[in-house]
Structure 1
């Protein structure tokens, strides 16, 4: 298994880390955007991400997995197959016909569900999934994420009874990329300043 440092460089080289003045959710601007959707076209990188997520997951008791739609679903699916752990799929919206479900899959009341997510900024997307799972009497106490942008999401999730564990924090990621010669000190400073200025609170969870 490659190291996290090697994985960070592979993700950058695959185009998963985009730099510039980029529009994010709800028209917000960001100097760095982490797009893990490109990883579905890179099976070796996908497997490397999943192996590191599985390492974190092995330390948390869980009965079932659920990937936050849609970017995290491929990671959850590969984890499910690799570890023989059942998986649920949450829809963005409730199905309007037949079963009218928002959760797809087989589960039982009080099973412990581990959430998988690609990126956490404010934690809003994870919380939507948490609410849907808890509404079906599933127990949710942890979420795994590839990147925590360190903009308040972890604290918001903790306030809602969910502990977030990440492969990378944004601070850690940009340090690795700088040390690997992929970005320079000026870029590190711009991103660091953005993290400090753009923080979310309990009432701001949007993604």
Structure 2
């Protein structure tokens, strides 16, 4: 298994880290955008990411997995197969025909569900999935994320009974990329300032 430092470089080289004045969710601007969707085209990078997530998951009691749609679903699927752990899928919207389910898969009430997410910023998308799982009687106490942008989302989730464990924090990631010569000190300062200024104290 590659190191966390090596994985950061692999993710950067795969195009998962985009720099510039980028429009993010809900029209917000950001100097850095983490797009984990690209790893579906890089199986080696995906597998390396999954191995690190699985190591973290092994320390958390869970019966099933659920990836937040859509970016984290491939990660959760590979984790499910590798660890022989059942998985459920949350739909963006409930089907308007047949079973009309919002949650797909086989599960039982009171099972512990570990949620997998690519990025947490405000925490809104992750909490939406947590609420849907809890509404079906599943117990959710932990979530694994590849990147915590350190903009308040983890605190929002903690206030709602979910402990977030991250493979990378934004501070850690940009330091690793700077030390490897992938980004400049000026870029690090711009991103650090953005993190400090743009904080979310509630879901947004």
Q: Cα deviations across residues 97-122 of structure 1 (Å, max 9, x unaligned)?
A: 00000000000010000000000001
Q: Using the alignment, how far apart are the partners of 1:35 and 1:19 within structure 2?
A: 11
Structure 1 residue 49: deviation in Å? 0.2
Helix, strand or coil for the counterpart of 2:6? helix
- State the number of aligned residues: 204
Q: Residue deviations 1:169-191, cap 9 Å, x none?
A: 00000000000000000000000
Q: Partner residue of 2:14?
A: 14
Superposed, 1:1-207 pairs within 5 Å as 1-202=1-202, 205-206=203-204
Structure 1 alignment gaps of length 5 or more: none
Measure, in 2, the Cα distance between the counterparts of 1:45 and 1:27. 29
Give the TM-score normalised by the residue count of structure 1: 0.98
In structure 2, distance between residues paired with 1:64 and 1:192: 36
Query: How far does the alpha carbon of each residue in 1:182-207 deviate from its partner, in whole angstroms, 9 at most, with x for none?
Result: 000000000000000000012xx23x
SS in 2 for 1:194: helix
User: What stretches of structure 2 of length at least 5 have no aligned partner?
Assistant: none
Q: Give how far 1:52 is off.
A: 0.2
Cα distance in 2 for partners of 1:90, 1:30 equals 28
Q: Secondary structure in 2 aligned to 1:167?
A: strand
Q: Structure 2 length normalisation: TM-score?
A: 0.99
CA distance in 1, matches of 2:26, 2:60: 33
| Superimposed CA distance per residue, residues 66-109 of structure 1 (whole angstroms, 9 cap, x where no aligned partner) | 00000000000000000000000000001110000000000001
Q: How far off is 1:21 after superposition? A: 0.1
Q: How far apart are residue 16 of structure 1 and its match?
A: 0.4
Q: Deviations over 1:38-86 (max 9, x none)?
A: 0000000000000000000000000000000000000000000000000
Secondary structure, aligned partner of 1:115: strand
